[in-house]
Amino acid sequence: MGNNCKSIEINILDVERNIMNCIFCKIISGDIKTKIIQETLHSIAFLDAFPLTRGHTLVIPKKHHQKIQDMSMEENSDLFSLVHQILQKVDKLTGSTLVASHNGRDAGQEIPHVHIHLVPRSKTDSAGPIHSMFTSTLKLSDSETDEIYNKLK
């Protein structure tokens, strides 16, 4: 039992260390200044400090969560409600906006704090569709597709 408690204590310390070092948590606490566009009870939207395009905006929960599914339903609803509100403004810049989230390290998440990118897009921005991120497509048999479908439904 003692080893389990020590393991839990180490995990709690790791979480606290991640939060203390999280650039987004520092923005929320005011330690790092940013251009805040809008704020709600649980979420905040601000201009990305390293924009891919003009108007690149991030929307994040105020509470530190690494993945979307770690958030409460209330926080999730608040976050995506703010995404919806800000998206209307960002989309007016070019008429098209990429809405993206890397949900976990293996998905490309560089900062382990949930964040939604709103990236204004245009024909000349040099980025492509989502399928251009991958070098090959996956070929699944009907039975493999059915198996995945049954796990997800």
Does the annotation count 65 as an active-site position?
no
Strand partners for 61:
43
Q: State the Cα–Cα distance between residues 149 and 153, nearest whole angstrom.
A: 6
Among residues 64, 113, 115, 117, the one annotated as catalytic is 115
Distance CA 115, CA 140 (A): 31
59 with 45: CB under 8 angstroms? yes
Compute the C-alpha angle 57/132/83, nearest 5°. 25
Query: Are the C-beta atoms of 46 and 57 separated by less than 8 Å?
Result: yes
Looking only at the bridges linking them, the beta strands covering 43-47 and 57-61 are antiparallel
Q: Catalytic residues, which ones?
A: 115
